[in-house]
Amino acid sequence: MALEAHTSGNLTSYPDQYGHFGPYGGRFVPETLMTALLELEQQYAAAKKDPAFRNELASLLQEFVGRPTPLYFAERLTKELGGAKIYLKREDLLHTGAHKINNALGQILLARRMGKKRIIAETGAGQHGVATATAAARFGFQCRIYMGAVDMERQALNVARMRFLGAEVIGVTAGQATLKEAINEAMRDWVTNVRDTHYILGSALGAHPYPMIVRDFHRIIGDEARKQILQREERLPDLLVACVGGGSNAIGLFYAFLNDEGVRMTGVEAGGGGIIRGKHAARFQGGKLGVLQGTKTWLLADDDGQIELTHSVSAGLDYAAIGPEHSFLKDAGRVDYSYATDDEALAAFHKLASIEGIIPALETAHAIAEVIKVAPTMNPDQLIVVNLSGRGDKDVQQVASLEAEAGKVS
Ligand SMILES: *Cc1c(COP(=O)(O)O)cnc(C)c1O
């Protein structure tokens, strides 16, 4: 692809006014949603400039959520792997247990500003549902969460949490009964109730302006990490690593460093049971260009354009499309994308837990798996910052049953 045609020198200047990241992104939605998207775009542009909005969000993030999160030197993991120094950006310490709350709170303040009364959202692993239900409870909104029936089973703990927080959780049984179907139902609800309802989309996905808004609410991760590593090491890191579902925690970490030439970045997709059709969710491994749920990007589809089945041990990475900005950054050669299989992620989950005393989310374990592969190939004077996007409490039951099934535990 002819990149120079699309990229200006400054990689942080995207999307353009139509929501395009080079050839990706845009707004592929039914006419009935255009008004809502345009309203959201205008309100967001105004909110971004409004000091009252920014201050309210900043103090919520500090006092309700627990920002800034530490940048923690993983001393024992570094020693064990015997290469680069590894730092963990501790988003797992945030209220509700993952980075998702940064975006949910930003969007709830937008919803209030727009005079909406009702919140809907989709959720995969349940983390975005929990974050949204939390934000809705905090601000007194009515809240409905759509979740695939299969994911509800994998993530029963998060379903209970959402219900305790006062949200209505609707199980979606269509198709594969995971995230894609949940998004379809949420979009259907939004089309019907668009006047009083705001849809809090949970990743850097969907139609413009969502990928931009979600990125902007998460860029605080990289803004903080950049300051913290400079303070600690007096230099920038050599490598950033983050797992990529839709891509919100990854772009949140990467964005502040995009124009720092010496900083390499790797996004880690879900390799599932291996790169075999239907067994993984690594869109850059055998994926193609297409349109899904409002945006043009890389996705997993067959020759007729039908969306393929996906699989990952982690519900939060189990989605057929990647956020459009990641497709753009891949073409630009700015970010490398690799993948970790279910087995590699599970091994990384155990390694971090037993060596560092931190149980990561299964999504996050994919990023750790990449670090386990690359850190030993680097020098001890090099630095890696990995985004610890969430904690593993939600996954404990699932990992325990997987291992019981595999006969590892009696
Ligand atoms: C949802 C989730 C992800 C994947 O979503 P992104 O938008 O790609 O960040 C990763 N890690 C955790 C802990 C999550 O909850």
The string of pLDDT tens digits covering residues 186-233 is 999 999 999 999 999 999 999 999 999 999 999 999 999 999 999 999
Q: What is the pLDDT of residue 154?
A: 80
Q: What is the pLDDT of residue 61?
A: 98
pLDDT tier for residue 5 given thresholds of 50, 70 and 90 = very low
Domain boundary at 183, 199, 214, which? Answer: 214
231 and 150, same domain (yes or no): no
Nearest CA to ligand 1 atom 13: 390
**Among 162, 160, 134, 112, which Cα is nearest to 66's?**
134
Q: What is the pLDDT of residue 8?
A: 56
Atom of ligand 1 nearest to the CA of 248: 7
Task: Name residues whose C-beta falls within 8 Å of residue 141's C-beta, 6 or more positions apart in sequence.
Answer: 108, 111, 116, 117, 118, 119, 135
275 and 196, same domain (yes or no): no
**Distance from residue 203's CA to the centre of ligand 1 (Å):** 8
Is residue 248 lining ligand 1, measured as CB closer than 6 Å?
A: yes
Domain boundary at 197, 214, 231, which? Answer: 214
110 and 42, same domain (yes or no): yes
pLDDT tier for residue 252 given thresholds of 50, 70 and 90 = very high
Residue 3, domain member (yes or no): no
132 and 275, same domain (yes or no): no
286 and 375, same domain (yes or no): yes
Whether the predicted pLDDT of 4 surpasses 60: no
Residue 365, domain member (yes or no): yes
Q: What is the pLDDT of residue 407?
A: 85
Q: What is the pLDDT of residues 164-190, one digit of tens each?
A: 999 999 999 999 898 889 999 999 999
Residue 136, domain member (yes or no): yes
Phi-psi domain of 43 (left: phi exceeds 0; alpha: psi -120 through 50; beta: other): alpha
230 and 210, same domain (yes or no): no
How many Cβ atoms sit within 10 Å of the Cβ of residue 118?
A: 17
**Residue 269 pairs with which residues in a beta bridge?**
339
Q: What is the pLDDT of residue 7?
A: 56
Whether the predicted pLDDT of 99 surpasses 50: yes
Q: What is the pLDDT of residue 3?
A: 47
308 and 354, same domain (yes or no): yes
Q: Which amino acid is at 344?
A: E
* CATH label of the domain that carries residue 47: 3.40.50.1100
107 and 245, same domain (yes or no): no
Mutate to test the pocket of ligand 1, among 127, 161, 200 (most ligand atoms within 8 A of CB): 127
Residue 187, domain member (yes or no): yes
Is residue 237 lining ligand 1, measured as CB closer than 6 Å?
A: no
Q: In the predicted model, what is the mean pLDDT of residues 265-288?
A: 97
175 and 324, same domain (yes or no): no
Q: Do 394 and 364 form a contact (C-beta atoms < 8 A)?
A: no
**Distance from residue 244's CA to the centre of ligand 1 (Å):** 7
Return the exposure string of 42-66: e unless at least 16 CB atoms fall within 10 Å of the residue's CB, then b.
Answer: ebbeebeeeeebeeebeebbeeebe
**What is the 3 state secondary structure string of 89-154?**
ECHHHCCCCECHHHHHHHHHHHHHHCCCCEEEEEECCCHHHHHHHHHHHHHCCEEEEEEEHHHHHH
139 and 161, same domain (yes or no): yes
Atom of ligand 1 nearest to the CA of 250: 9
Is residue 282 lining ligand 1, measured as CB closer than 6 Å?
A: no
Residue 41, domain member (yes or no): yes
pTM equals 0.96
Residue 6, domain member (yes or no): no
**Among 245, 41, 60, 52, which Cα is nearest to 135's?**
60
Whether the predicted pLDDT of 6 surpasses 80: no
**Among 180, 138, 112, which Cα is nearest to 320's?**
180
pLDDT tier for residue 1 given thresholds of 50, 70 and 90 = very low
Residue 1, domain member (yes or no): no
Domain boundary at 156, 187, 214, which? Answer: 214
Active site residues: 100, 122, 389
Residue 184, domain member (yes or no): yes
351 and 225, same domain (yes or no): yes
Mutate to test the pocket of ligand 1, among 317, 329, 370 (most ligand atoms within 8 A of CB): 317
**What is the span of the domain harbouring residue 268?**
68-97+219-409
Specify the number of domains making up the chain: 2
Whether the predicted pLDDT of 367 surpasses 60: yes
**Distance from residue 261's CA to the centre of ligand 1 (Å):** 26
In angstroms, what CA-CA distances link 241 with 124, 137, 383?
A: 22, 33, 11
Least confident range from 111-115, 147-151, 295-299: namely 147-151
Across all residues in the chain, what is the average pLDDT? Answer: 95
Distance CA 199, CA 250 (A): 22
Percent of the chain with pLDDT strictly greater than 90: 91
160 and 184, same domain (yes or no): yes
Whether the predicted pLDDT of 76 surpasses 80: yes
